[in-house]
Structure formats: C-alpha cells, structure tokens
Chain A
Amino acid sequence: MTIKGKAYIAGIYEHPTRHAPDKTVAQLHAEVALGALKDAGLGRDDVDGYFCAGDAPGPGASTMAEYMNLKLRHVDSTEMGGTSYLALAAHAAEAIALGKCNVALVTLAGRPRSEGVATGTTPRQRDPNQPEAPWEVPYGLTTANGYAMCAMRHMHQFGTTSEQLAWIKVAASHHAQHNPNAMLPEVVKVEDVVNSPLIADPLHRLDCCVISDGGGALVIVRPEIAKALKRLPVKIIGAGETVKHLSAGTFDLTTSGAARTGPIAFAEAGVTPADIKYVSIYDSFTITVLIQIEDLGFCTKGAGGKFVADGNLISGVGKLPFNTDGGGLCNNHPSNRGGMTKIIEAVRQLRGEAHPAVQAKNCNLALAQGTGQQLGTRHCSATLIMERE
C-alpha cells in the first residue's frame, strides 16, 4: 500500500495578512479554508474530510468543524507542532487512498503577533504531567537556546561557521524581495546577519524567523476529482513522518528526524535528492535548514555549511532553490508553525505560479520538509514529495 499517485493537491491559499488584530483565529481558519476551496474550484459542501492541528481553537477538530458548519465523514487532528500540516497532507492522501474521504481540507491559522507572544526567548508553558519538564524548565530552556545548542554542536563537530549559516538568511531575503506580503523584504548580506545582536550563542537575531499572524490551507482530492478541475494537478508521491528525541540521554544534536523521514519519502516516491528541482525547508532558524538539508541527503552530514554558502540556495543562482516565498526567515510564520506555507510554496513552484524572478526551471518535482516542536530536545519531522503531472 502506498499513497503514491492516490491523491492530489487541488487547492492552496496563503492568507495575505501578517498582523491581524481585527480577526479571530477561528475566522482566519475559515478564511483560509474558503480561499483554498475557491482556488480548487470547489465549494464548502464538497468537503468530507477535515484535518487540523494544535493551532485550531478548541479540542481537536470539532470546534472548527462546527464554526465552518462542515459535514464530515473523516477527521484527523494529529498534533506535530509546526510540521503537522506536512503529515496531515500525507494523512489526507492515506484517507483518500482508503476511500475514507474524497475532498480533504487542511487548515492552519494563528495570531501570535497580535497576541504578543514572546515566542522564542521565554520558556514555554508545560503540562505538569510532561515527565521531562522538571529536567528542563529549571534550566531556562527556550526555543532559541535549544536550537542554538544544535548549532553550537554542529560548529564544534564539523567546523560550520556563522557566516555559512548567514547564507541561508541571505538566500531567503533574496527571495522575499519579490514577495509583496513578506514581513522582511529587504535583501541582507552575510555581514548584516553576523553583526546582528546575539540572541542565544551562536544564533543572531537574523538567524531567527519572524513572528507573524496569518494562516494557510490545502484542499486534497482523489485523482478523478483533480483531473476534472481546472487547476494544474499536483500529485503527492511520497511521505514520511517520525519523532526524534533524546533517546534516554544518548542523542546526537547534529541530526534531525529528517534523516529518517527523508529516506522513507524518497523510497515511496521512487526518486532521489538529485531529482528534486525545488525544496521548501522549515526555517525556524538558519541551523534548522542546514541540518535538514544534510539529513535529506542533498549533501553529506557535516558538509551543509559549504553547501549553503555562496548563494547555493538562491533561485536562479544556486543548485538548490529553497523557500522562494522568503520562508519563515523573511516572509511569515503563522501561528509559529511553518509547515503549511512550505507546502503552499512548493505547489506554486510545481504549478509554475511562483514569482517569475524565483520560479525554478522545469520544476516537476518538489520536496517540502518540516520539523515541529524543539530540535534541541524532541521534535516531529515530516517529509512530503510532490510531482507535477
């Protein structure tokens, strides 16, 4: 059993807002849902499967299903942090392959910017039943210093430099200049990144992603429906998901769950990294991108610093165009969850609808990769490979 060729992404929508004090989270979910359905050429009553994650208000999917008045025969509210939507897209393909639904809707929305959440530099609230909490909370673990420890170890082990990490931000900024909705459309140089203030050594302010409101949605359908619609169909051909954790104290912080999910997804798709024309890589921080690129096999472990340097991730310049919307580093990071926009930009690339200045040539195969939660402790990884027909 495989999902290869069993489901197509027929509709996408990215909310243009980056700051939404005048809207509720539920309203944003509904707006992106309707936007993606319109893009697909379908209506709300066509939806029979709904997929959402922890950003959706209320427990699981019931609150948003009621708000949008959906009539469903399949529901999935798997929570994997910021990478949830890559896994949910695969789950939607699985459900379609099994005949559990025909038209799957996946939504994401949130307002951390309007709500004033100090996302990355203060400890997150924990459920007191989380068994790891007493062993992490007293030490002041935050999102930023957790990822920073991965970067510090990578530098120690492989000689990776701050300048090499900076190239990831530089590439994202080259793409963001063409995105009218991007929060940070200014092109930056390596010196700008390494001279920005240190947040958590060795990560500087410009190594960190933005905090934004917004959201996005996908409509995933069975092949017969996709072929009857006007949009260029984008086929889901491979996926993988996993959890990587501290393994009872025997871990390696220089690798991510992508080292497992990449090979699983490539095997299902029957393609190799060399076949991929465009990648969306979750970029909560620059180091997140570097580690995932290595783990997916675009270069060997430890060679990521050299690989990303000198514009190799810039569309039209380098070998591996990435995050051509500007990514989380420059465009947006709705609900502090970057997985949804990774899929959306990959679909734009496959449709040939990316901005002409950043459109990858002959883009028939794209990969979206995400890690959710905390790279420095435990995280989920999901990989999704898509093909233009």
Chain B
Amino acid sequence: MAEARKIPAPIVTVETQAFWDAARAGRFVVPICAACGKAHWYPRAVCPFCASEKIEWQNASGRGTIYTYSVMRRAREPYVIAYVTLAEGPTMMSNIVDCDIDAVRVGQPVSVVFKETENGPPVAMFKPA
C-alpha cells in the first residue's frame, strides 16, 4: 500500500478566516455578495462581480459536478485534481477522493467531504455522489 498523499495546510488569512472556521466545524460555505446576489470563487473580501464589500458566507449544498479533472500519475500516490462546478454556480479547484481514480468522468455528480491537512484546517474535497 503506497503512502497517502500529505495535504499541505492552506494559509489562513484574515480575509478567509470564516471559511476555515466553518470547515473546522464541518460546514462548507461559499461567499455570496449581499449587493448583487452572486456567489464567487475563490473567496475574497471584495465582490469580483460588483465590487461591493458586503460578502456573506452562506451554507452551501456541497453538491456539484465535475467540470474537468486529471489523474496525476507522476506522484508517490496518484491523485485526482479537478474543477467542480458547485450547485451555487462557481467552479472551484479540488480533489476527487474516496473513489476509483480510473472511473472519474467529466459531468459526474459529486458531493463535498472535508479532508485533514498537515497542521491546518481541513480542506473541501469531493467524492462521487
């Protein structure tokens, strides 16, 4: 059995502290602008669509579909990197986990699962729904 890939801890900033606090509590949240109503990714303090600073963290469904992916073979343990289009709209980078890596497909429905990192908050990954 090959050694599992170690997941580097994300750098937590004042801008995104709330996301990681929610992640530690097992909640997947997305930033939504109170002014224009749009969700964006990656999370930031200024709305990239309307430039408002009224960003709110909203509980997300955790559901999405795979926009694209790649199985990284040149690694100690192959892993699947992907972009997942969330039910809330934006597409985010992630990993597809808890699955047969050779059975992953574009368009496949997936759901969020948090995975532990090295000395940091857990990060949002996805598994087949």
- Contact A144 B42, beta carbon cutoff 8 Å: no
Which residues does chain B contribute within 8 Å of A139, judged by CB atoms? 81, 93-95, 123, 125
State the interface size on chain A (CB cutoff 8 A).
40
Residue of B nearest to A251 (CB): B91
Considering the chains assembled together, what is the distance between the CA atoms of A150 and B106 in angstroms? 12
Residue of B nearest to A157 (CB): B106
- Contact A138 B123, beta carbon cutoff 8 Å: yes
* A121-B90 contact, Cβ under 8 Å, with A131-B15, A138-B10, A153-B68: no
Considering the chains assembled together, what is the distance between the CA atoms of A138 and B12 in angstroms? 12
**Main DSSP-derived SS at the B contact region:** loop
Task: Output the least CB separation between B94 and chain A (Å).
Answer: 6
Task: Output the least CB separation between B44 and chain A (Å).
Answer: 6
Residue A197 CB within 8 A of the other chain: yes
Total A-B Cβ pairs within 8 A: 117
Residue A230 CB within 8 A of the other chain: no
- Contact A152 B69, beta carbon cutoff 8 Å: yes
Task: Output the least CB separation between B21 and chain A (Å).
Answer: 14
- Contact A135 B41, beta carbon cutoff 8 Å: yes
Task: Output the least CB separation between A243 and chain B (Å).
Answer: 14
Task: Output the least CB separation between B69 and chain A (Å).
Answer: 6
- Contact A138 B90, beta carbon cutoff 8 Å: no
Residue of B nearest to A118 (CB): B74
Which residues does chain A contribute within 8 Å of B11, judged by CB atoms? 128, 133-134, 137
- Contact B42 A131, beta carbon cutoff 8 Å: yes
Residue of A nearest to B91 (CB): A249
- Contact B7 A138, beta carbon cutoff 8 Å: yes
Which residues does chain B contribute within 8 Å of A148, judged by CB atoms? 70
- Contact A140 B95, beta carbon cutoff 8 Å: yes
Residue A200 CB within 8 A of the other chain: yes
Q: Which of B43-77 contact A (CB under 8 A)?
A: 43-44, 48-49, 67-75
Residue of B nearest to A202 (CB): B70
Considering the chains assembled together, what is the distance between the CA atoms of A198 and B106 in angstroms? 18
Interface string of B75-88 (1 = CB under 8 A from A): 10001011100100
Interface string of B1-41 (1 = CB under 8 A from A): 00001011111110110000000000000000000000111
- Contact A138 B117, beta carbon cutoff 8 Å: yes
Q: Which of B39, B67, B74, B93 contacts A141 (CB 8 A)?
A: B93
Residues of chain B whose beta carbon lies under 8 Å from any beta carbon of chain A: 5, 7-13, 15-16, 39-44, 48-49, 67-75, 79, 81-83, 86, 89-95, 106-107, 117, 123, 125
Q: Top 4 closest A-B pairs, CB basis?
A: A249-B90, A134-B10, A249-B41, A148-B70
